[in-house]
Structures are given as C-alpha cells and as structure tokens.
Amino acid sequence: MCQSENRQGPELQAAAKWLHFPQLALRRRLGQLSCMSRPALKLRSWPLTILYYLLPFGALRPLSQVGWRPMSRVALYKSVPTRLLSRAWGRLNQVELPYWLRRPVYSLYIWTFGVNMTEAAVEDLHHYRNLSEFFRRKLKPQARPVCGLHSVISPSDGKILTFGQVKNCEVEQVKGVTYSLESFLGPRACTEDLPFPPASSRDSFKNQLVTREGNELYHCVIYLAPGDYHCFHSPTDWTVSHRRHFPGSLMSVNPGMARWIKELFCHNERVVLTGDWKHGFFSLTAVGATNVGSIRIYFDQDLHTNSPRYSKGSYNDLSFVTHANKEGVPMRKGEHLGEFNLGSTIVLIFEAPKDFNFRLKAGQKIRFGEALGSL
C-alpha cells in the first residue's frame, strides 16, 4: 500500500500542478490588468463583466477565486458612453426621412408609446420631416387649458414620481431613494443673482433657500415618458434670475432606473433655473436623460447642452439680472419655457407657506396646465 501511494505521489503532484496552472496564469494576467491605466482597465474589464452577468449558471464565477471582481451592474451602466450615444441619436433624429417613409415610421412610434395625435397642432404625419420635429410637435391651443384657480400648475405632461416637503436637505428621487439638495442645485451663487439673502455657514443649505419666516421648502418630480408632449411651460408667475448648467451623464431616468441608482438626478446633465415668485424662492430644473442630448430654454440662446466642450463634474452659470434688467426674465403661468428632445424629468423646488397643499397622488398621470397645488 505504501509503495503504491509513493508511486502515485509524483503523478498526483503533476496533476495538481496542471490543475493550478490556469489559476496561476489568470493571477498573472490580473496582475497585469492592475498595472493598467483606469480607462484601459475599464475597457479590458467590460467584456468579462458583461459575460459574467449574461452567461448562465455563473460560468465565470471561478474567476472570483483568483482575485478578479466584476464591476457592479451600476458601475457597468455608468461606464456606458451615454453622452456620445445621445449625440449620435440626436444627429440621426435630424436626418430627413423620405416622404413615403414618414407615415410608417411615425405610426410605429405612435403605436409603441401611445401618442395621441388628435391633440397635435399638425396631425398630418407627412408634415414632420424628421424624428426631431415629430418629438417636438406642438399642441392645439385648446388641448391644454391652464388652470387659473391654483397657484402652481404642472409645467408638462408626465407622471408624478414624488412630491412634498424637503426634509433634512434631502429630496426624494423616487419613494425611498433620495439625493442631496445642494448637490442637485449646486452651491449658492452670488447674492446679486439670486433672491435669497446671505446666510451664515452654520445654516443648512435648505434654510438658505427659505427667504421668509414661516415658509417651507417643497418639491415635485414629474417624469416625461417618450410618448408625452415634450415641451414644458412656466408652472406659475415668477421671475427667472439665474441659470446653471451641469454637464453630466445621460442615464435613463425612468422610475425603475431611479430606484436603482442613488442620486441619479445629480449625475445627469441638467439645467437649473432659479428665481422668485410671490412667496419667495422658486426653481425649475430640466434633467437630461439617455437620447435627450438637447435641452432648450427659449429665452436662453447661450445654452448648449450635451456639448463636447463641457466636461462632467463642472457647471457654468448665467445671470439674467443685468444693469439694464434689474429683475430678470418674467414668466407668466402657462407660458412656453423650453423643450426636451425626447423625454426626461422636471423637478420643481420652491418656497411656500406652511398651508400649501399638493393636489396630487404619487404615480398619477398629469397633463400640462393641470393643478399641482395651492394655498
């Protein structure tokens, strides 16, 4: 028995070395990966990570035993070049379609997303030369009557995700998922541009926005689906004094993605308009999304979104308060304000007295002109 075991020893050792060879080779390759630059490492890790999540039965799980770790699903999604893809989609949307192809293409889109073309100012599908014109179609004047009884109306068609008071400087993205108010709006700009007074460093960012004693800060998030009307309007009578543009990612903002990625709205490109209304501070933020490379504000000709010249992580400001115009840009309730290229999200953050009441339910569909709330 002992002699047999001794004879098998070298054979077993050789087999063990052969079995360990792939692990040693993988460790060596992973060591080389760890020395690579971050962009190159991401590029080399993508294929393995994608296969890790796509292949059945955990086929690549043995790799984790030799030190390799896949990127998380969130990190993998964040690494997708959504800005570049959105710019390409925008170029494609501007390609003029042949006359004979317009009706079948637009009809497919109408059927897929439930578009109501009877509300469109021009119902003839042949009128729209490209997808961009179709996305930005106007409505008949009587299609969206503006509610005059309530002080704040919906600026767009869409779905109500969250609403209520802002608490602890955190705003709800969707139920149970929050983001930082200061990260979303950015640091306070010069007091000459914004309506709220200076505040000491001890005060919270939320308290800096509340200009009048006894008032509270409120928020409302409206998600625009691809089939919705893509223009947005002024939600109340107010004066816009400042614009802040955050270049950023263009990840999807549908409710499922908003539950998945914390502070999604703070990562995405957005345009923040701030000013004041009769009760104090008021802001409207247009948040970009995948394939929504274009956010247009009608009175701001200097705004260019999803532009390669702007890098993520920065922001650029523009004040509408000048020596010639001491007040800013006055907006009337229901007046045209801007438009998206496809569909996205509108976030309202505003100051109002404590007896302000929302007339909403989370998840409800709403149309431009309908009441959001009033005193």
C-beta pairs of 167-171 under 8 Å, 24+ apart in sequence = 168/206, 169/204, 169/205, 169/206, 171/219, 171/347, 171/349
The span from the first CA to the last CA of the chain, in angstroms, equals 94
Q: Are the C-beta atoms of residues 298 and 336 closer than 8 Å to each other?
A: yes
The residues near 135 (Cβ < 8 Å, ≥ 6 apart) are: 93, 230, 340, 341, 342
* Start-end of H helices in the chain: 2-34, 38-54, 73-78, 82-93, 99-113, 131-135, 181-185, 205-209, 255-260, 264-267
In the structure, how many helices (H) and strands (E) does the chain have?
Answer: 10, 17
Residue 190 neighbours by CB distance under 10 Å = 10
Q: Distances in Å between the alpha carbon of 144 and those of 117, 296, 368?
A: 14, 21, 6
Record the tokens describing residue 344, joined without a space. 């996205």
Ordered DSSP codes for 128-176: --SHHHHHTPPBPGGGSPPPSSSSEE-SSSEEEEEEEE-BTTEEEEETT
177: nearest Cα among 192, 162, 193, 187: 162
Phi and psi torsions of 362, nearest 5°: -60, 130
By annotation, the residues acting in catalysis are 157, 233, 344
Distance CA 32, CA 181 (A): 42
Q: Are the C-beta atoms of residues 330 and 239 closer than 8 Å to each other?
A: yes
Say which DSSP state 5 is in: H
Q: Report CA 90 to chain centroid distance, whole Å.
A: 17
226: nearest Cα among 114, 338, 306: 114
Strand partners, 116: none
